[in-house]
Chains A and B, each alone.
Chain A
Amino acid sequence: MIEYLIFAVFAGLLLHGIHRKAIARIQGRPGPPVWQEILHVLKFSFKETWIPWTASRTLFVAVVFIAIGIWSAALVVLLTGESLLLLFGIYMLHKIVEHGLGLSSGSPYGKFGAIRSVMSAASEIPLFATIAAVYLVTHSLMISDILAWQTANGPLLIAVPPAAAALYIVVLAKMHYSPFAVIESKEIVSGNMTEHFGVWRAGLDVAFGLKTFVLLYAFILLFIGPIPLLAAAVAMLILLLSLSFICATTPMLSPFDTVTIQIGAAGLIVVYILIMGAIL
């Protein structure tokens, strides 16, 4: 199990590096090498580390552990084919981590990031719509059952494309440099992560690498189905490049526009589900 985790951490960080490189190339810059994010984690973990005097000490440290823990758990959920609802829960708990990161430091920038993270809780609603649509079609929320359904009936991407679009928005909302990433936008320094430096930041980067890997892999598993490892890696790369393209060409939205777009997307999918439910 630990071997999967370590693989996922490195793969996720590499995906972050590719993301940065792709954004840079699209914007006509040379960009950092693709392994830069792995080097970043090593660099941060060698920096001198302490807890800021203004911070709520226990919470400040605990959120780093919780961040790594929940995304490790998410990877285990995916690998063992547990309930999709559990993955949904972990995604929601990530919101609490973001919130706790910002609040615990006592820094005003962190606090702004935390408040924005409460407002952007709208990004969870498309995910709920995805789950509802998948449940309507496959009559199960166990990932193993969903995979079995796809082996029998073909990819869910073809059966329920709007649900895939909703999950795509959810994944996009959690990418670095995404138009929805208001909680870490640069006008509030690094938002909720501003005061987490050194080893704490290295731990967070590991958690976020895991998160990117899990979310991309979950998208492939849920909407394309069980495919060989190499094909899954290629599919994840293509998915990531499409996300990078959006991140590179779209400016950061304002917090209110973020909420409007995400709730709007969720609303469209709810309408779709109601129509589909009426037909089925």
Chain B
Amino acid sequence: MMSMKKQNALIMTVLAGGVCIAASVAGSAGLLPLWAAAVLVIVFFPVFLVSLGLWWNASEKEGDTPFIGY
């Protein structure tokens, strides 16, 4: 289950990063109006950053049993 989580985060990272790069390339090449490129980058940049973080910290092994005392 843990490795699934890691894989999903990786897929999200690649997709969002791909959209960001594609949108900025298309925007500067004139294939996409500048405002549309801007909106795409603004929406997908946070997704890219957060899923990148979630990808590289998702653990593939079982964690320790947390302390549930008191």
A and B touch in the complex (CB under 8 A): yes
Would you call B63 and A46 a contact (CB within 8 A)? no
Contact with A along B42-66 (1 / 0, CB 8 A): 1101110110111011010001000
Would you call A46 and B57 a contact (CB within 8 A)? yes
A231 within 8 A of B: no
Residues from chain A with Cβ under 8 Å of B63 in the complex: 48
A198 within 8 A of B: yes
Contact with B along A108-138 (1 / 0, CB 8 A): 0000000000000000000000000000000
Would you call B41 and A72 a contact (CB within 8 A)? yes
A2 within 8 A of B: yes
B12 within 8 A of A: no
**Which residues in window 20-72 of A have CB below 8 A to B?**
44-49, 64-69, 72
Would you call A3 and B24 a contact (CB within 8 A)? yes
Would you call A49 and B24 a contact (CB within 8 A)? no
Chain B interface residue bracket vs A: 20 to 34
CA–CA, A106 and B41, complex, Å: 32
Residues from chain A with Cβ under 8 Å of B53 in the complex: 44-45, 49, 198-199, 202-203
A80 within 8 A of B: yes
Of B41, B52, B56, B59, the contact of A1 (CB 8 Å cutoff) = B41
Of B38, B41, B49, the contact of A206 (CB 8 Å cutoff) = B49
Closest Cβ neighbor of A45 among chain B residues: B53
Residues from chain B with Cβ under 8 Å of A64 in the complex: 46, 50
Contact with B along A180-209 (1 / 0, CB 8 A): 000000000000000000111011001000
Q: Which of B21, B46, B52, B56 has the most CB of A within 10 A?
A: B46
Would you call B50 and A65 a contact (CB within 8 A)? yes
Q: Interface majority SS on A: helix, strand, loop or mixed?
A: helix
Of A1, A5, A67, A69, the contact of B43 (CB 8 Å cutoff) = A69
Would you call A65 and B57 a contact (CB within 8 A)? no
Q: Which of B38, B45, B47, B52 has the most CB of A within 10 A?
A: B45
Would you call B24 and A2 a contact (CB within 8 A)? yes
Would you call B57 and A49 a contact (CB within 8 A)? yes
Closest Cβ neighbor of A76 among chain B residues: B38
Contact with A along B11-41 (1 / 0, CB 8 A): 0000000001101100110000010011001
Would you call A48 and B27 a contact (CB within 8 A)? no
**A46-B57, A80-B34, A198-B57 as given contacts; A68 in contact with B23, CB under 8 Å:** no
Rounded to whole Å, the gap between the CB of A119 and the closest CB of chain B is 28
CA–CA, A48 and B59, complex, Å: 8
Residues from chain B with Cβ under 8 Å of A73 in the complex: 38, 42
CA–CA, A220 and B66, complex, Å: 50
Residues from chain A with Cβ under 8 Å of B21 in the complex: 2
Residues in B lying within 8 Å of A, measured CB to CB: 20-21, 23-24, 27-28, 34, 37-38, 41-43, 45-47, 49-50, 52-54, 56-57, 59, 63
17 chain-A/chain-B pairs, Cβ below 8 angstroms: A1-B24, A1-B37, A2-B20, A2-B45, A45-B56, A49-B54, A69-B43, A69-B45, A69-B46, A72-B42, A72-B46, A80-B38, A198-B57, A199-B57, A203-B46, A203-B50, A206-B49
The 6 A-B residue pairs whose C-beta atoms are closest, nearest first, are A199-B53, A45-B53, A68-B46, A1-B24, A65-B46, A2-B24
